[in-house]
């Protein structure tokens, strides 16, 4: 084989290698380029909110809510207090509405000596609890309501059935009868938005 033939073959091989390099250049760059970190989407309530933790759980709640660590549920009487913490809504949530900003909010309560962790043991009235699972968490759910002097009181309790000590999230909504106000003076509070905020707090609760 002559030197000219060998040179031609080598030239053709170089062209092939260069061509392959151009074709696969983008793929090679993508293969060895550092991968971007995954983007984690966090609910606004967590990003702009506040946190509270004990030795048994931690929870997040929206900015503007008032935390009371000396809270105790007293509807069973002074000798059967259920201790916990309360997170009362920001005053602007209720401004211009029939909602009470003084006590509406979410409470985290615990019964260390409970034999079974069900929602009905957190409510004085004779109620029946039901079982639900949400986001992989098993809850016992019970509700109650009462009225007096033109006011409505609504309670919804989510007890975490596998928690120890028995831990529950109580929604407490205090509102005034809208029909007791002159037309146009106040508006009905946004129940959907309020419950969405309460749900966000409950879902942020992490047991330790």
Domain boundaries in the chain?
Answer: 3-32, 44-207
Fill in the DSSP letter of residue 68: E
Q: Which pair of tokens denotes residue 165?
A: 């000590």
Strand pairing class (166-176; 151-160): antiparallel
Which CATH number fits the domain 44-207, given the four candidates 3.40.1000.10, 1.50.10.20, 1.20.5.440, 2.40.160.40?
3.40.1000.10
pTM of the model: 0.77
* Cα–Cα nearest to 173, from 109, 119, 121, 100: 100
Q: Which tens digit of pLDDT belongs to each residue from 91-118?
A: 999 999 999 999 999 999 999 999 999 9
Within the chain, strands assigned E span 50-53, 57-61, 66-68, 72-73, 82-88, 105-111, 130-134, 137-148, 151-160, 166-176, 206-207
Whether residue 157 contacts residue 143, with contact meaning beta carbons closer than 8 Å, is answered with yes
* Cα–Cα nearest to 141, from 114, 123, 159: 159
Examine the pLDDT at 7 and tell me if it is beyond 60. no
pLDDT cut 90: percent of the chain above it: 76
């Amino acid at each position: 084989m002559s030197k000219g033939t060998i040179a031609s073959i080598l030239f053709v091989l170089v062209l092939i290698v260069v061509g392959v390099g151009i074709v696969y250049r983008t793929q090679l760059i993508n293969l060895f380029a550092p991968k971007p970190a995954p983007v984690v989407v966090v609910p606004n309530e967590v990003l702009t909110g506040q946190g509270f933790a004990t030795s048994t759980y931690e929870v997040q709640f929206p900015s503007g809510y008032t935390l009371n660590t000396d809270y105790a549920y007293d509807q069973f009487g002074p000798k059967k207090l259920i201790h916990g913490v309360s997170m009362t809504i920001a005053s602007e949530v209720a401004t211009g509405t029939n909602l009470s900003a003084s006590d509406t909010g979410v409470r985290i309560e615990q019964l260390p000596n409970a034999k079974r962790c069900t929602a009905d043991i957190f409510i004085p009235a004779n109620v029946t609890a039901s079982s639900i699972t949400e986001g992989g968490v098993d809850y016992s759910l019970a509700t109650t309501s009462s009225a007096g002097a033109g006011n409505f009181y609504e309670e919804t309790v989510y007890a975490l059935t596998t928690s120890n000590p028995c831990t529950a999230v109580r929604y407490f909504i205090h509102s005034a009868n809208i029909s007791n106000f002159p037309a146009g003076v106040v508006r009905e509070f946004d129940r959907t938005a309020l419950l969405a905020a309460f749900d966000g707090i409950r879902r942020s609760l992490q047991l330790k």
